[in-house]
Amino acid sequence: MGNCLDILRNFFCTKNPNVRISLPAVCFVWQIAMIVLFGVFIRYDEESDTGRWLELKKHENITSDVENDFYFRYPSFQDVHVMIFVGFGFLMTFLKRYSFGGVGFNFLIASFGLQWALLMQGWFHSLDHTTGKIYIGVESLINADFCCAGCLIAYGALLGKVSPVQLMVVTLFGITLFAVEEYIILSLLHCRDAGGSMVIHAFGGYYGLAISWVLYRPKLHQSSRLNGSVYHSDMFAMIGTLFLWMYWPSFNSAITDHGDGQHRAAINTYLALASSVLTTVAISSMSKKKGKLDMVHIQNATLAGGVAMGTSAEFMITPYGSLIVGFACGIISTFGYLFVTPFFEKYLKLQDTCGVHNLHALPGMLGGFIGAIVAASASEAVYSKEGLINTFDFEGKFANRTVGTQGGYQAAGTCVSIAFGIVGGACVGLVLRLPIWGDPADDNCFDDEVYWEVPEEEESIHPILEYNNHMVHKHQDISESNFSVEQS
């Protein structure tokens, strides 16, 4: 009987991070499911199907192939693609011994996520009810990458504490929730959110935080020796930071209106980001003795301006308006790293490895409300009558909406995204507490050894060190009894 209890306790309490069956099973089964669903639903759209593009050109009197949406969006798509895989991936390599997991699991879940996103977003946004098919083009690829971004943000809060199988589950549900909240916000509430302050950053941030809160590990300090960076891992993380920072203008302009819309969104984001860097440096320097800068702030808070411009980048927020947004968000985000993350950990029992609250959740929420204010204060004098209609898509059944009403809906959309993130994350967190996912023990967190074949150390290439070790061992033989060996 006691034996039986022991087995049960063992089953429920001992961590067994062996994913040799579960990880391959999940990858194979889900990838096969993707193939079947793509076979049933996904087809090329009329700009990527050879017969239909020729037809479209004739039908609409298009004289040049340069009118194909590919040429409007492909450069931005590639920039976004770099942000998803190198940007997010390398940003998460800052831990001294979790760089493989940071960039590798990011790679895995984004590769699955983008396929599932094409389906989910397709069902909600572009299912052709006459043929029952989803037609995809370059804009669908950008949206699928955006959708992944939400889950990668959530991964930031969980970094080092979950198994790859759990991450696949986080992604499966995350993409699903994303598609639903996006449908509600963009289609039902008719909000504008080109760079996704609300639908991507606020949702993704709170989704990850809620999961992390449910998965709270009281004994995480047992891994604290690994919960930090080393010199070169900080440099790898700077690769991620800079590619995110540089390409963020493409992120916020990738799916905005052709012409002035993409042009303006890029300018606004460029300015907000520049402004964030200066205030991040200022606060970081003020907070440490002798004015030393902290790499954590430079790697993260400098990006807050881009997050906060996600909604309003395409609006006529004015260049100095963009600077002000970046100015404020650099300060807020750095303060978050200084005070809010430690507060969360101590009082809310919320462990946020990368500080996604400060980089995504909070600036995303602010970005949503900034968007609401900018929308509400739009005027024909600034936008022109036709420009107002174009920018806010006041057409069809929304033809009579005023900018004031639009502002209200934008604010409502922000709340919807946060609610989806928190409630959805809490539920997914409960699922992840099942003892079947192979997550690491508390003293094994932030350690690549658990899920990766890690190469041996460099000793063999340092003759002096090796000799050194050799000698130490010699001495050990002689004097072993004289002191106790301490290895942390």
**Binding to a second copy by residue 260, rule CB under 8 A?**
yes
Footprint of a second copy on 198-227 (CB under 8 A): 225-226
**Sign of the C-alpha dihedral computed for residues 38, 41, 47 and 51 taken in this order:** positive
The whole-angstrom separation of Cα 334 and Cα 326 is 12
The whole-angstrom separation of Cα 381 and Cα 470 is 80
The whole-angstrom separation of Cα 19 and Cα 416 is 36
- 303 or 411, CB closer to a second copy? 303
**DSSP strands (E only) in 104-162:** 127-128, 133-136
Which of the ranges 6-14, 43-51, 340-348, 367-375 carries the binding residues for a second copy, by CB under 8 A?
Answer: 43-51
The whole-angstrom separation of Cα 383 and Cα 375 is 11
DSSP H or E segment with residue 135: strand 133-136
**Binding to a second copy by residue 137, rule CB under 8 A?**
yes
**Binding to a second copy by residue 28, rule CB under 8 A?**
yes
Footprint of a second copy on 282-311 (CB under 8 A): 282-283, 285-286, 288-295, 298, 302
**Binding to a second copy by residue 320, rule CB under 8 A?**
yes
Phi, psi of 128 (to 5 degrees): -85, 115
CB 3, min distance to a second copy, A = 26
**Binding to a second copy by residue 44, rule CB under 8 A?**
yes
Footprint of a second copy on 369-428 (CB under 8 A): 382-384, 386-388, 390-391
Query: Are the beta carbons of 140 and 121 closer than 8 angstroms?
Result: yes
SS3 17: coil
**Sign of the C-alpha dihedral computed for residues 368, 372, 373 and 374 taken in this order:** positive
Structure-token pair, residue 248: 């963020």
- 399 or 464, CB closer to a second copy? 464
**Binding to a second copy by residue 169, rule CB under 8 A?**
no
**Binding to a second copy by residue 111, rule CB under 8 A?**
yes
The runs of H, that is alpha helices, within 159-259 are 164-182, 203-214, 231-253
Which of the ranges 177-185, 211-219, 242-250, 352-360 carries the binding residues for a second copy, by CB under 8 A?
Answer: 242-250
CA distance readout (Å), 488 to 128, 419, 451, 454, 457: 60, 43, 21, 19, 17
Footprint of a second copy on 55-84 (CB under 8 A): 55, 57, 64-72, 74-76, 78-79, 81-82
CB 85, min distance to a second copy, A = 5
**Binding to a second copy by residue 95, rule CB under 8 A?**
no
- 279 or 417, CB closer to a second copy? 279
Residue from 263, 376, 377, 422 that binds a second copy (CB under 8 A)?
263
**Binding to a second copy by residue 20, rule CB under 8 A?**
yes
